[in-house]
């Protein structure tokens, strides 16, 4: 089963109990009561598999129990029920999930070499374009995607034993075409996420 098979209500219900989401080589059990998080997962992880039993990481994105729940709302990222980072504004819940999942993989999956790179794939062959953040990897990858090359990720996990690369949690922005994304970097994101 993949995320796209679920209605938004079903996804929210699974998130409240723990959604086992496969992202690359790992499965994360994600728990949250925030509707904004369900919207982000439905949009960006539509093609990802939902695994039912085992999870490598147990994470939770939730509001604090203090006044910040209502006044200037914030969210926390919990790893094994322990806050891993300082809280962020509530409207940044989905980016916090992304950063937190990347942190989990980078700090706990030592069987992989973690590379910050655009990852392009065609016919089972992978091309890595490593570079610092903000140097134009994604924008350089878009013309290649128009020629049938798929997957554009910012982080990948490469197995030392098999020399295979898997994209980690960071999803690609969805757009009707790569050219549309070049003209409008927000792609088809809802207006509340585009600013």
User: What's the predicted TM-score (pTM) here?
Assistant: 0.70
Residue 30: predicted pLDDT: 96
- Give a yes or no: residue 189 inside a domain: no
From first to last of its 195 residues, the chain has per-residue pLDDT tens of 899 999 999 999 999 999 999 987 889 999 999 888 999 999 888 888 897 778 999 999 998 777 666 678 889 999 998 988 898 898 899 999 988 988 898 888 887 777 777 777 777 777 777 888 788 877 777 666 666 555 545 566 666 566 566 655 544 433 333 343 344 444 443 343 333
Identify the domain boundary among 108, 130, 151.
108
Residues 121 and 80 in one domain: no
Residues 88 and 33 in one domain: yes
Residues 11 and 93 in one domain: yes
Residues 91 and 47 in one domain: yes
- Give a yes or no: residue 195 inside a domain: no
Residues 19 and 102 in one domain: yes
Residues 8 and 92 in one domain: yes
Residues 77 and 25 in one domain: yes
Residue 126: predicted pLDDT: 72
Longest dimension (CA), the chain: 52
Count of the separate structural domains present in the chain: 2
- Give a yes or no: residue 193 inside a domain: no
From residue 3, alpha-carbon distances to 6, 25, 27, 48, 138 in Å are 6, 17, 13, 6, 25
Residue 15: predicted pLDDT: 94
Residues 81 and 11: their CA atoms lie apart, in Å, by 21
- Give a yes or no: residue 192 inside a domain: no
Residues 100 and 11 in one domain: yes
Residues 103 and 118 in one domain: no
Residues 61 and 128 in one domain: no
Identify the domain boundary among 89, 108, 127.
108
**Residues whose CB is less than 8 angstroms from the CB of residue 38 and which lie 6 or more positions away in sequence, other chains included:** 8, 11, 12, 15, 32
Full domain range(s) for residue 145 = 112-184
Residues 41 and 104 in one domain: yes
Strand partners, 32: 61
CB 118 within 8 A of CB 152: yes
- Give a yes or no: residue 194 inside a domain: no
**Residues whose CB is less than 8 angstroms from the CB of residue 82 and which lie 6 or more positions away in sequence, other chains included:** none
């Amino acid at each position: 089963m993949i995320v796209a098979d679920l209605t938004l209500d079903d996804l929210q219900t699974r998130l409240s109990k723990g959604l086992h989401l496969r992202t690359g080589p790992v499965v994360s059990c994600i728990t949250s009561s925030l509707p904004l998080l369900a919207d982000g997962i439905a949009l960006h992880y539509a093609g990802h598999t939902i695994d039912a039993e085992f999870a490598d990481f147990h994470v939770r994105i939730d509001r604090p129990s203090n006044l910040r729940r209502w006044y200037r709302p914030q969210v926390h990222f919990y790893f094994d029920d322990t806050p891993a980072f300082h809280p962020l504004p509530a409207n940044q819940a989905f980016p916090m999930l992304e950063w937190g999942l990347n942190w989990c993989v980078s700090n706990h999956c030592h069987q992989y070499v973690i590379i910050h790179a655009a990852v392009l794939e065609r016919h089972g062959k992978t091309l890595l374009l490593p570079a610092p953040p903000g140097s134009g990897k994604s924008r350089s990858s878009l013309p290649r995607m128009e020629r049938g090359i798929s997957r554009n990720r910012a982080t990948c996990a490469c197995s030392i034993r098999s020399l295979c690369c898997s994209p980690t949690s960071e999803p690609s922005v969805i757009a009707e075409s790569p050219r549309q994304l070049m003209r409008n970097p927000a792609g088809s994101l809802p207006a509340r996420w585009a600013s």
